[in-house]
Amino acid sequence: MSIVSQKPIGVFDSGLGGLTVLESLRARLPDEDFIYFSDARHLPYGDKPEPFIRTRAQQIAAVLAECGCKAIVVACNTATAAAAEGIRAQIVIPVVALEPAIKPAATLTRNGILGVLATTHTLASRRFAQLVKTHAAGTTVIVQACPGLAEAIESEGPKSAKVETLLDAYVRPLASANADVVVLGCTHYPWVKAGIARRLLPETTVVDTGEAVARQLERRLKEENLLGGRGQLRFATSGDALQVGATLARLCGIFAPVESWAI
């Protein structure tokens, strides 16, 4: 095992939603070391101006690369839409980015009606429009922006009254449109997957992207001969480390120290 292959993989999101992706990454690559960075100081990205998101994501990626990461996973659909191309242009290590699972979802629909739950910026992005054009031609795509949902899941909990109210508002229109496949276009949404499914028509397929990202990361690491590690995990944040640690424990049952990074 080379010295480079023993370096960690950096994973980042605006909050802790990317932990749903991290879970898939660790399940597929249990021997790899990971640094998870939560940009809690700027949670959520979903309704911030795109230039800000682009600059911020590029800053975080640069810091993770400077810290010695051998690869970076952009565990945020909004950051991917705004900044993935810029990140890949500025650093030489492998970058795996997240995007709504339009391609697999379009192959699963039986009635040709596909629903997408995502942030305002993800749905308005050029990248999302290209995904739909490339992979869902001939399919009716019903998009539903979900402002405030990711923040409510993280701050108040997946089963909170506020989250339930937001799910009522955002999911029921997709059921009314008869969508038989629904894409979760934000990393926070898998935490409320059961609540989303309850509000959809029976036998609706709900699709997220964690496993696909894990397969892509594994492929890139193999290509670059970078597989290897000790299975270690670190957490860092731009926000209140104690608060992020408490949220980490509440959401995931993970009790671990959280480093404070001045980014």
Q: With residue 203 as reference, give the H or E element that holds it.
A: none
60 close to 72: Cβ distance less than 8 angstroms: no
The residue annotated as part of the active site, out of 67, 69, 146, 186, is 186
Annotation marks residue 76 as catalytic: yes
Q: How confident is the model at residue 132, as a pLDDT?
A: 96
Q: What does the pLDDT average to over 141-155?
A: 94
Model confidence pLDDT, tens digit, residues 80-137: 989 999 999 999 999 999 989 999 999 999 999 999 999 898 899 999 999 999 999 9
Per-residue pLDDT averaged across 44-53, rounded?
87
* Mean pLDDT of the region 133-148: 95
The whole-number pLDDT of residue 44 equals: 83
CATH topology of domain 4-98+211-260: Rossmann fold (3.40.50)
| Domain assignments of the chain as residue spans, ordered by start | 4-98+211-260, 102-208
User: What is the C-alpha to C-alpha distance for residues 98 and 42, in angstroms, rounded to an integer?
Assistant: 19
Give percent of the chain with pLDDT exceeding 90. 86
> Mean pLDDT across the chain, nearest whole number?
94
> What span, in angstroms and rounded, lies between the C-alpha atoms of 249 and 213?
24
pTM for the model: 0.88
Known catalytic membership, residue 146: no
pLDDT of residue 45: 86
Confidence grade of residue 27 (pLDDT, cut at 50, 70, 90): very high
Q: Do 4-98+211-260 and 102-208 come out as alike in CATH topology?
A: yes
Residue range 156-182: average pLDDT?
Answer: 97
- Give me the architecture of the 102-208 domain, per CATH: 3-Layer(aba) Sandwich (3.40)
Q: What type of residue is 43? A: L
Res. 5: pLDDT tops 70:
no
Write down the catalytic residue from 69, 76, 146, 252.
Answer: 76
Helices (H), the chain: 19-28, 50-66, 77-90, 102-108, 120-124, 126-135, 149-156, 161-176, 193-198, 210-223, 241-252
Q: What is the predicted pLDDT for the residue at 219?
A: 96
- Work out the average pLDDT over 252-256: 91
- pLDDT of the residue at 252: 87
**R_g of the chain computed on alpha carbons:** 18
pLDDT of 3: 54
If you search the block for the tokens 């991917």, which residue do you land on?
Answer: 80
